């Protein structure tokens, strides 16, 4: 899952399921509060954000249900793999997100986790869930694009 891109980002994990299940309205980059054993485990790539989501508690945004595996060498100071993790955002961004979450029925979904200049960052999307017919249309478009590329490959 580790991939290096041109922009200096080292992608740790992606949430591919989110793109299929949600319409993204806005993408926001946020820092994440981590313990020492968590960052060691993240550097090894043992992270899963597929079923996680963001919530607002006490005027702050938390990431719920993300799984960062325990680090074997951290004996007594190890972390709980499914802890809530605080996201580092400005007050203005938090207010904007909570307004959208409460009023318009959006949800916060993490799309990818990566390192930027040595710091762990997470990209969260303000998203709205897709209906079943929207998912079928997405599958249909994906299959059509695959068939189209096969046809052009054979013809040239």
| Ramachandran class of 23: left when φ > 0, alpha when ψ lies in -120 to 50, beta otherwise | beta
pLDDT per residue over 98-127, tens digit each?
Answer: 988 887 879 999 999 999 988 999 999 999
Contact yes or no for 126/132 (Cβ under 8 A) = no
Give the model's confidence band at 1: pLDDT under 50 very low, under 70 low, under 90 confident, else very high.
low
Inform me whether the pLDDT recorded for 26 exceeds 70.
yes
- 7 vs 152: which has the higher pLDDT: 152
Give the model's confidence band at 70: pLDDT under 50 very low, under 70 low, under 90 confident, else very high.
confident
Strand pairing partners for 88? 31
Poorest-confidence range of 10-14, 48-52, 69-73?
Answer: 69-73
Domain that holds residue 106: 3-155
pLDDT at 146: 92
This prediction has a pTM of 0.79
pLDDT at 87: 94
pLDDT per residue over 43-66, tens digit each?
Answer: 988 899 999 999 999 989 999 999
Inform me whether the pLDDT recorded for 4 exceeds 60.
no
DSSP 31-97: EE---HHHHHHHHTT-EE-TT-EEEEETTEEEEES-EEPPPTT--TT---TT--EEEE--HHHHHHH
pLDDT per residue over 76-95, tens digit each?
Answer: 778 878 889 999 999 999 99
Name the helix (H) or strand (E) containing 56. Answer: strand 53-57
The CATH number of residue 91's host domain is 2.40.280.10
Q: How many CB atoms lie within 10 A of CB 35?
A: 17
**Number of compact structural domains in the chain:** 1
Contact yes or no for 23/130 (Cβ under 8 A) = yes
Give the model's confidence band at 30: pLDDT under 50 very low, under 70 low, under 90 confident, else very high.
very high
């Amino acid at each position: 899952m580790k991939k290096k891109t041109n922009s200096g980002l080292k992608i740790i994990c992606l949430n591919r399921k989110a793109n299929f299940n949600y319409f993204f309205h806005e993408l926001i980059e946020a820092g994440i509060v981590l313990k020492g054993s968590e960052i060691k485990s993240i550097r090894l790539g043992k992270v899963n954000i597929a079923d996680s989501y963001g919530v607002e508690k006490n005027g702050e945004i938390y990431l719920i249900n993300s799984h960062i595996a325990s680090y074997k060498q951290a004996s007594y100071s190890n972390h709980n793999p499914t802890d809530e993790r605080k996201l580092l955002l400005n007050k203005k961004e938090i207010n904007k997100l909570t307004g959208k979450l409460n009023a318009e029925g959006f949800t916060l979904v993490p799309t990818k986790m990566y390192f930027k200049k040595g710091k762990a960052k997470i990209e969260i999307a303000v998203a709205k869930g897709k209906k079943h017919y929207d998912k079928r249309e997405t599958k249909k478009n994906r299959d059509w694009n695959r068939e189209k590329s096969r046809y052009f490959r054979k013809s040239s």
